[in-house]
């Protein structure tokens, strides 16, 4: 396989920074054993590397790859690549998209809504205490779930949660998102959106615009007792602000799958908080096979000069 613009044989660099990446490395080697895939750079520079397949790029790496053309994320988000300060404008960036990812996320979000809505912690405590005590069953039609981010994942989540009987509304940064739920757009629609949300679900991408977006002022606009679910990226929610509002009683609790620092430090006040549920960034993960196939397809498209699958608009961050 040769890339048309340089006529160099394709050489792929993968940075094995986690088991998540390693699984994709092993699948790529098994699927395309003829492909030249390396896991480190020998020497100061490597002019033969034309593609990266990674999750996060360390500072100083990209200047050592003078002929890089493609930086492909092994995951659904590309923030780990776009966050590299020395990413050349000429390098194309892609992210992994899998049809099943939306359903997996919908299962996670539904799980977190239902465990709170149907008082599962109370029922578990009663079970442990050998108590037979009925709890009230609320009417889901009287509760609104607000979903921030209605892309390929968020739109599936909206449909599934609506099928559970909840009223579902969505918020997006800009017009043009096709959805089967009422949609609020931009800053002008934010307050009206937040004022209705008994459950707030964050599925936004990590960008310069979303960093720290969900802070105390933002969360204070939610109704009393609202429950917050973050399954997007750490850093979008100001964690200290959220915990303070939970402790003050304005928020009813939260379920977080992502954090500003991962793994979550043992000293974090999230651990052991009676109104908070922590999961280890497992809400939804692209299956290995489709991600590898998309990467290989994009190598072929790059060679032909065709548009890439799931190319990121770097001005938007997704």
Q: Annotated catalytic sites, by residue?
A: 233, 281
Structure tokens at 151: 């892309």
- Computed on alpha carbons and rounded to an integer, the radius of gyration of the chain in Å comes to 22
For residue 74, how many other CB atoms are within 10 A of its CB? 29
DSSP secondary structure, the chain, as one string: -B-TTT-PBPEEE----SHHHHHHHHHHHHH-TTSEEESS--SS--TT--EEEES---TTSGGG-TT--EEEESSS--HHHHT-TT--TTSEEE----HHHHHHHHHHHHHHHHHHHTTHHHHHHHHHTT---------GGG-EEEEE--STTHHHHHHHHHHTT-EEEEEESSS----SS-EEEHHHHHHHHHTT-SEEEE-----TTTTT-B-HHHHTTSPTTEEEEE-S-TTSB-HHHHHHHHHTTSEEEEEES--SSSSPPTT-TTTT-TTEEE--S-S----HHHHHHHHHHHHHHHHHTPPPTTB--TTTT-
């Amino acid at each position: 396989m040769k890339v048309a613009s340089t006529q160099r044989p394709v050489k792929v660099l993968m940075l094995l920074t986690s088991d998540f990446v390693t699984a994709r490395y092993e699948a790529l080697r098994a699927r395309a054993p003829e492909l030249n895939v390396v896991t480190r750079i020998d020497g100061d520079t490597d002019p033969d590397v034309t593609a990266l397949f990674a999750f996060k790029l360390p500072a100083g790496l990209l200047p050592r790859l003078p002929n890089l053309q493609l930086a492909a994320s092994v995951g659904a988000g590309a923030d780990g690549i776009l966050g590299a300060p020395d990413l050349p404008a000429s390098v194309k960036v892609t992210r992994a998209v899998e049809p099943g990812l939306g359903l997996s996320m919908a299962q996670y979000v539904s799980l977190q809504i239902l465990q709170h809505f149907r008082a599962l912690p109370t029922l578990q405590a009663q079970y442990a205490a050998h108590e037979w005590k009925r709890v009230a069953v609320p009417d889901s039609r009287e509760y609104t779930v607000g979903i921030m981010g209605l892309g390929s994942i968020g739109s599936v989540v909206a449909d599934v949660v609506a099928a559970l009987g909840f009223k579902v509304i969505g918020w997006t940064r800009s017009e043009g998102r096709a959805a089967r739920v009422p949609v609020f757009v931009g800053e002008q629609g934010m307050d009206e959106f937040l004022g209705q949300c008994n459950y707030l679900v964050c599925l936004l991408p990590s960008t310069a615009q979303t960093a720290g977006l969900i802070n105390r002022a933002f969360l204070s606009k939610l109704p009393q007792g609202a429950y917050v679910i973050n399954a997007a990226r750490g850093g979008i929610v100001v964690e200290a602000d959220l915990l303070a509002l939970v402790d003050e009683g304005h928020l009813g609790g939260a379920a977080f799958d992502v954090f500003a620092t991962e793994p979550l430090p043992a000293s974090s006040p999230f651990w052991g908080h009676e109104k908070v549920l922590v999961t280890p960034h497992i809400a939804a993960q692209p299956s290995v096979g489709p991600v590898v196939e998309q990467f290989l397809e994009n190598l072929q498209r790059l060679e032909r000069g065709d548009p890439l699958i799931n190319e990121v608009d770097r001005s938007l961050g997704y």
